[in-house]
Structure 1
Amino acid sequence: MFFTAVSIIRNASAFVKQASSRAVHTTFFAMAPVKVGDKMPAVDLFEDSPANKVNICEITAGKKVVLFAVPGAFTPGCSKTHLPGYVQNADKLKSEGVSEIVCVSVNDPYVMAAWGAQHNTKGKVRMLADPSGNFIKALDLGTNLPPLGGFRSKRFSMVISDSTVEDLNVEPDGTGLSCSLADKIKLKN
């Protein structure tokens, strides 16, 4: 019996040694950032509270929607320029065929609701929270900003037509205020 156990251990040892010396083929799928022509991922965001789920595919189906994302609610650039620009231009964008304007941030829904209330977004801009960053990760438009708590969204805007990205503007450095502003939105007829 002793010789059998030793034999089994030797055979197992030889098998592990042989297996570890073989090249193992693995497939790696690198995520690519969202691009024009891509469909929206079916991800739930939250409006006003964790009980109010909003599926991004459902709210963009059959409509033209402007969506913009910010690194954080109540941050200076987002509060002084980015969000106010969309609030001020909401009527103009809607008169040009936009059904809804959506702001997304990797924050909790209560923070987004409070931020929206501070900027009078009701009826103009929907404030949607992406607390775990699942939507931003699905778009591959995240960035690490330790001073804001770590994983956040890059600053971007997009026009979505029937759940498909029609136009996309990602800030070159991920946080600046140039191409993603409300007055830079390009709508196609």
Structure 2
Amino acid sequence: MGQINTQQIEEAVRLILEAIGEDPNREGLLDTPKRVAKMYAEVFSGLNEDPKEHFKTVFGEDHEELVLVKDIPFHSMCEHHLVPFFGKAHIAYIPKGGKVTGLSKLARAVEAVCRRPQLQERITSTIAESIVDSLEPHGVMVVVEAEHMCMTMRGVKKPGSKTITSAVRGVFTNDPAARAEVLSFIKE
């Protein structure tokens, strides 16, 4: 992936404003192309970031029990409509061989994955695969719940509806009790 071309974004925003019948030179819109370009540079900053980078620092800890970080807030942009969706991610894993990562690294990985045009399903599986590849745990479970503005402000117009996706790897795949334990902790 290359660098974000803010000048090109500014030109595109001016064209969009003209295409919808607006005057990009009127006072309220004069700096809008620049503001949108700056915002896109920020919200798409994850395009050049690999979430696995956040798991390079691991700790040896005599712990092979559940680790769960829940309610990690995130926002992303739907790749189908380029409008936001937002919600919470919940990440659980069972370390193997005492290989654990810093808790904040899980949140940073979520941020890296979400800061690009995305699909919720891809966010969920990418986070899970990044943890599997980097930490080689006994199991991983990622649950993502989000509200999509493409359903709220257009189309079916159903504000408040939530989409929930999950990715289950390792021991969680064949152990319904382990999955249920994680889900009960998430619901608390």
Q: TM-score surpassing 0.5?
A: no
* Largest Rg, 1 or 2: 1
TM bracket, shorter-chain basis: under 0.3
Higher RCO (CA-CA < 8 Å; seq separation 6+): 1
